[in-house]
Amino acid sequence: MKIIVTGGAGYIGSHTIVELISSGYHPIIIDNLCNSDIRNINGIKKITGKDFQWYNADCNDKEDIELIFKKEKNIFGVIHFAAYKSVEESVRNPKKYYKNNIGSLEVILGCMHKYNVNNIVFSSSCTVYGSPEKLPVDERASFKEAESPYGETKQICEKILQESIINSISLRYFNPIGSHRSGLIGDCSTDKPANLVPIICEVAKGCRDELVVNGNDYNTVDGTCVRDYIHVVDLAKSHVKALVYLLDNNKKNVFNVGTGKGLSVLEAIHCFEKSNNIKINYSIGKRREGDVEEIYSDNQKVKKILNWQAKSTVHDAMRDAWNWEINKDKLK
């Protein structure tokens, strides 16, 4: 069963390709490596022992994407990851995010309509909730004003999907961390890391002198921001569950994908230290524009309907994140 996966060489995409292959699907990757790396393509092959089709194409290039849909017949669905993902960068350069993140979805949907592909799993985000009024936040929470242009693009994309006749599932991720235990695939983003765990890893490796914690005066357990951290392999498996559900039910739905537990920035740092027996040098800085104070998931819906729940611990994820960091430079 052929499944097109846009952004399939990226962080979450590459892990999802592994899970798709192990579940008997035939993924077709579309990824121009603008924010990923050939190492993940090679790593997927080493992990699975399988070859697959990869198109080096831009999802905003309508002509190229149409050629792929035309060539690849009998496509059962699409998993759409291709998007820029840095909250911090989106605040600095919002036009880049509006053009790419929304534009790529519109191109993909246009091709799906034209070539009669009726199912899409969309890579959404908990940023659609803005600063939630109630925690844990569930899928019934209304969209508030997004805290960043990145979050706004995810809100707009979800609205586009709701208005489309195509069957869709939007998976609202919380905070993916870690890597495949093999250390063969991981976050190969070409931009400067802006997320907590990759920065922690760079400090541990000596690539940075210190980690600057963005604010310690929030109304949280220790004054630092609270997030719901989920192992990327668990997150990848949720896409297979969503795809199965979509193919069987032919409808629209949205799901939170998180552990249901919040962890502060300082707690996450200490968890990494304990998991890897490494001391992290950090200091307290100013708040960062676009950050939500505290958010973690109500994940009862995804457990009940998709029969999915996180299996790995945060300690597992911190260990695997560090394993990737110390191995990635050796890979080709």
- Please give the positions annotated as active site: 150
Q: Which of 139, 93, 117 is nearest to 256 (CA)?
A: 139
**Peptide bond just before 176 cis, omega within 30 deg:** no
**Which has the closest alpha carbon to 111: 144, 227, 103?**
103
The two structure tokens encoding residue 228: 């719901």
- Name residues whose C-beta falls within 8 Å of residue 167's C-beta, 6 or more positions apart in sequence: 118, 119, 120, 246, 249, 250, 251, 252
**How far, in Å, CA of 131 to CA of 143, rounded?**
9
In the Cβ-directed half-sphere of 68, how many Cα atoms lie within 13 Å?
A: 30
Task: Please name which of 237, 217, 200, 208 lies closest in space to residue 286, comparing C-alpha atoms.
Answer: 217
CA-CA-CA-CA torsion for 100, 105, 107, 108, nearest 10 degrees? Answer: 130
DSSP single-letter state for residue 74? S
